[in-house]
Amino acid sequence: MKSKLMTAAAAVALLAVGPAAVAQAPAPTATEAKTFVENAETQLAKANEFGARAAWVRANFITEDTQWLEAMATAQQSELATRLAKDAARFNGVATDAVTARKLKLLKLYLVAPPAGRPGAADELANLLTKMDSAYSTGKFQHGGKTLTLDDAEEIMAKSRDPAELKAVWEGWHSIATPIKADYARFAGLSNEGARELGFKDTGALWRSNYDMEPDAFAAETDRLWKQVEPFYRNLHCYVRARLSEKYGASVQARTGPIRADLLGNMWAQQWANIYDVVQPKGVTSSYSLDKLLEAKAYDPVKMVKTGENFYSSMGFAPLPETFWQRSLITRPRDREVVCHASAWDIDDKDDVRIKMCTRVNAEDFQTVHHELGHNYYQRAYKEQPLLFRGAANDGFHEAIGDFAALSASTPTYLQQIGLLETVPGEAEDIPFLLKMALDKIAFLPFGLLVDKWRWQVFSGEVTPENYNQGWWKLRTQYQGIVPPGPRPADAFDPGAKYHVPGNTPYTRYFLAFIYQFQFQRAACQQAGWKGPLHRCSVYGQKAVGEKFNRMMELGQSQEWPKTLAVFTGETRTDASAVADYFKPLNTWLITQNKGEKCGW
């Protein structure tokens, strides 16, 4: 309140002395700009820790009170960051040093949902975000006389081979998003209002500005990368569709056209590894199941996380602090509602790192553990940077760090190194292995791209609230070649059935990460002197690789991301050719399998 009164008083004084005095006001200096960003970092550090602690409590104890507390902390944090972003604009055109100039730029891009400056806007926006997140996280629906959570629904989607049951469960979960639609429309309008006050066309333009290039140039860059991998995706789609048609019959899944979304083993059809049993190569079987290996070795959730830590330790990284084990949430509590979506947390921008996930002992969560810990090790690596540089080179890096580790963690080479597998299978099992990986990695790429394409269209006004669902399915069919299992209700809000939409987490980072991880893998294996196929390379125990990788991570967001990418890979451009290198044997095999099929949709 005091700062607002002072601002009003200053305005009155300026009006009293007339326009001439205003014209004579001295221009801001480089010294003032440097002092401003230093003060901004001090203020943000306090607000960030308070916000992180409030968010952690709400995510682990979902009640009316914790939602109120998080909303209050988020509103205060947003108001501060918005004010600082607007103040940073005062220094536009000031010749500052390079570090200060980058900090000023990052201040303007600090929030993914900036509130408008008018009274009450930050509170309303924060309340909407908390309400949407909690509505998703506590979502339940009725099926077969039982109340199902998302965890329950995902298990059915993964294991059931009954098309009627899959359709019912798919539709049941998607129904929980319908009440979120009105709040999302209001949120989009409020966020756009704040983004425009910061000088951006809309919130989507603000998001795209965070990649050291112009917003339209970045959109074109994502299209370029998609074109690199699209042919491979279409080959995979064609093969999987044929196997599904053979399994269920043409009345359920035609051998041409799009694939029914609920048949792909995942609630969002974003990754298809759960239907490997349906699409596995004929006459070639995998000699092991990671699910069964974990069970046979008596793994529990904590041992899963310990194994992930050991991977990073083998590359020379220091062990996780004891507070990690004391404060992380590793299993779903039985006595309360929690946000089970796996996440990694940096509470104090120093050493208080944690994960939060309802860990299950299976192959999927084995990979997720390695992924989430990657965030924590990245957070620790850049903790000595100034606050505004404590972040990923771009947000795709943050996701790719752990995904890179998970690439090694998925190989039979690594499973043998840590004693889960006695012997590494021979070359005959390469196609089954690569097919499983492609059902995860390649199948994801179009989904990783289209989630934000939809939001960019929402923020720009190209897709309006009454057309939210139609716009969503237009993109899903265009890029993924999938359709819903049946007609959708007029009030459906299917985008809201994916956490990152009501949770307001930008999604292009995942698309980029699924490309960067293969660039990292190719560079790391070259540095390790690996001579075999890229898909069999594990960097477990490679301390020299770990040391160079850490040099890249330590830079945080201190410079433009192409320079940081070059520190580890020697490349200055995102390049999906590493994806092609990794999967080359499989793509050749798919082309052969698809002979006679009418691919595409």
Residues annotated as part of the active site = 341-342, 371-372, 375, 399, 500, 510
Of 348, 367, 356, nearest in space to 410 by CA: 367
Q: Could you give the C-alpha distances from 43 to 57, 80, 100, 117, 313, in angstroms and in order?
A: 22, 8, 16, 18, 34
In the chain, count H helices and then E strands. Answer: 24, 6
User: Exposure pattern of 469-482 as b/e (b: 16+ CB <10 Å)?
Assistant: bebbbebbbebbbb
Residues in CB range of 599: below 8 A, 6 or more apart: 234, 235, 237, 238
Of 401, 429, 445, 391, nearest in space to 308 by CA: 401
CA–CA dist 18, 29 (Å, integer): 24
User: 298 is written with which tokens?
Assistant: 């008596």
In the numeric block, the tokens 């983004």 are attached to 195
CA–CA dist 575, 224 (Å, integer): 10
Of 68, 78, 109, 108, nearest in space to 91 by CA: 108
Residues in CB range of 259: below 8 A, 6 or more apart: 237, 240, 241, 244, 253, 269, 481, 482, 483
> Kind and range of the H or E element at 343?
strand 343-346
User: 269 is written with which tokens?
Assistant: 């059809």
* E strand map for 430-506: 482-483
Burial category of 455 from C-beta neighbours within 10 Å (exposed 0-12, middle 13-18, buried 19 and up)? buried
Q: Which amino acid does the sequence have at 242?
A: A
Cα first-last separation, the chain: 59
Helix, coil or strand: residue 346:
strand
In the numeric block, the tokens 């660039």 are attached to 519
Residues in CB range of 581: below 8 A, 6 or more apart: 518, 522, 534
Q: Could you give the C-alpha distances from 272 to 23, 153, 391, 438, in angstroms and in order?
A: 64, 16, 31, 9
CA–CA dist 277, 255 (Å, integer): 18
Q: Which amino acid does the sequence have at 120?
A: G
Of 378, 379, 355, 350, nearest in space to 306 by CA: 355
Of 185, 191, 195, 194, nearest in space to 215 by CA: 195
Binning the chain into helix, strand and coil, the percentages to the nearest 5 are 65, 5, 30
Q: Could you give the C-alpha distances from 465 to 17, 185, 272, 492, in angstroms and in order?
A: 49, 6, 30, 11
Q: How far is CA 593 from the centre of its chain?
A: 33
Q: What are the helix (H) ranges across 92-143?
A: 98-108, 121-137
Q: What are the helix (H) ranges across 300-342?
A: 301-314, 322-327
